[in-house]
Structure 1
């Protein structure tokens, strides 16, 4: 293993830079050349590849986003695109690849692994929607961003006596809504994994108003549907003015938390160690606070389990 390549693909996540830094410096420590591949799989196909050194990753551990940048690449999903990627890898003499991203990124990496390219994956997505690992890099930073927003929204909602729906990211996974809703003291949490009763939400609003409560915060996962339609129904049933705040891509940016930086640093280091030990087709993760590696096929086919107990706790505490 003389040359390792590293790329980031899909949506960016806070902590990606910390992982890149760890990969680069661990490689150099082990006297292995490290090549940075720009723009994800798209950059791989186009040969956007440059050698990295210690200075390449100086002063990035605390920065959000990804210094390698990222892009979607439909061409890579085709048989011709995969062959082109393999040819580029061989042309640049890359002996092993470390890939940072989410579910779609892992599927592409698995195809490379099946084609004989030694590949290790690091889970980087704010959605926390990968079933084989307890947490993904970037998730807790996104949660902190949402909690901060909820605190600010509560101030203005209280001033005007409003209800406010805070729509968060996560695709079909409700973890950002669940964790930020519990940590932020939201009165209602609406997620795709649990069928919700709009009348229960309305009842909470009315009961809160009757005891003098001036606000009602609803954390809603984007996968649930149209937040404005939910707001309209709440207004019709309760008479409470209901605003919608869609946080959007603000959740992807910002300084990663210490936890995300530590997790990213450990995984980046481990990814290089695995390649140097001739391991391939592995996904790194966290289980019960322990760093694990799992076969990519198994990782991709492990169903995400929703934490119903945490959801129930949030309901109890929001009475």
Structure 2
């Protein structure tokens, strides 16, 4: 193995640059030439390649975003797009590709690998933490910490005005950010796609809180909650309790950016080293993950979207702490 390519694909997440740095420096350590691909799969199709060295990845471990840029490529989903990408890789003499991405990006790698002989190694990144084969994906820890800090600030305002805040966090299909953040900020209620929204229960929580003279109430809602998100839930609550002062805050893409946490930097670095080690040991068409502190290799064909499993103990925890 003498020449490999690296790309980032899909939505950005904190820790991507830390992983890119780890991949490049580990490859250099083993005498492998590294090619960066700009703009994900679109850049692969267009041959937007450049050579990377140790200097290319200096002073980036603490930065959010991705120096390689990213995209969601519709062209790569087509056989014609993947054929063009293969010809570009072949022309550049690239012997393997490493992609840092979520379930959609890893699915793209799987489809490519099923047709063409170039080996792929996937590295999981998603703030939703909804990829099988790893306990945590790059970006999740930072996203939850960003949301936690924002809601802590919102709580200060809520306390000052005796106000109810409905805070919407990211998570179209996954409630991982909402659940973990909601627990960390002491939210009175948490609503996620994996559970049914029980407004009557929410009404009881509010009545109980105000009867105890609570000075603020926080409800954390995942954007994909089936009740329609924070605005829809707040509207229904306002109809029930018109006397309450309420506000909605959508955190949005602020959760994708920012300097990665220590946990994300360490995870990204470990997975980068593990990805190069996997290539050198003859592994191909797999995703590297970390489960219970150990590196795990999962065939790309077995990597699927993982849903947050809500147990009775998790639900009870929210109810107990909302008193």
TM range (shorter): over 0.9
Match of 1:242 in 2: 246
Q: Is the 8 A contact 2:22 2:272 kept in 1?
A: yes
Whether 1:64 and 2:67 are equivalent positions in the alignment is: no
Match of 1:209 in 2: 210
Distance of aligned partners of 1:24 and 1:238 in 2 relative to their CA distance in 1, 3 Å threshold: same
Distance of aligned partners of 1:275 and 1:299 in 2 relative to their CA distance in 1, 3 Å threshold: same
Equivalence map 1:129-144=2 (5 Å): 129-144=130-145
Match of 2:287 in 1: 283
Of residues 165-174 and 235-244 in structure 1, the stretch that sits farther from structure 2 once superposed is 235-244
Of residues 64-73 and 239-248 in structure 1, the stretch that sits farther from structure 2 once superposed is 239-248
Whether 1:256 and 2:260 are equivalent positions in the alignment is: yes
Q: Is the 8 A contact 1:205 1:238 kept in 2?
A: no
Equivalence map 1:170-249=2 (5 Å): 170-224=171-225, 225-239=228-242, 240-249=244-253
Quote the Cα distance in structure 2 between the aligned partners of 1:64 and 1:5. 21
Match of 1:152 in 2: 153
Of residues 162-171 and 233-242 in structure 1, the stretch that sits farther from structure 2 once superposed is 233-242
Cα deviation 1:279-302 (Å, max 9, x = unaligned): 1111111212222111111122x6
Of residues 126-135 and 160-169 in structure 1, the stretch that sits farther from structure 2 once superposed is 126-135
Quote the Cα distance in structure 2 between the aligned partners of 1:92 and 1:311. 53
Quote the Cα distance in structure 2 between the aligned partners of 1:264 and 1:307. 27
Whether 1:35 and 2:35 are equivalent positions in the alignment is: yes
Which SS does the other structure have where 2:148 is aligned? helix
Which SS does the other structure have where 2:224 is aligned? helix
Cα deviation 1:175-225 (Å, max 9, x = unaligned): 000000001111100011111211111211121111110111011001112
Match of 2:93 in 1: 93
Match of 1:165 in 2: 166
Match of 2:301 in 1: 297
Q: Is the 8 A contact 1:9 1:41 kept in 2?
A: yes
Deviation at 1:307, TM superposition (A): 4.1
Q: Is the 8 A contact 2:144 2:180 kept in 1?
A: yes
Aligned length: 318
Of residues 54-63 and 268-277 in structure 1, the stretch that sits farther from structure 2 once superposed is 268-277
Quote the Cα distance in structure 1 between the aligned partners of 2:259 and 2:145. 10
Equivalence map 1:41-56=2 (5 Å): 41-56=41-56
Cα deviation 1:34-84 (Å, max 9, x = unaligned): 000000001111111100000000000011111101011101100100101
Deviation at 1:303, TM superposition (A): 4.2
Which SS does the other structure have where 1:223 is aligned? coil
Match of 1:310 in 2: 314
Which SS does the other structure have where 1:200 is aligned? helix
Match of 1:272 in 2: 276
Match of 1:76 in 2: 76
Cα deviation 1:262-290 (Å, max 9, x = unaligned): 11000001111111222111111121222
| TM-score normalised by the chain length of structure 2 | 0.96
Q: Is the 8 A contact 1:232 1:242 kept in 2?
A: no
Of residues 239-248 and 139-148 in structure 1, the stretch that sits farther from structure 2 once superposed is 239-248
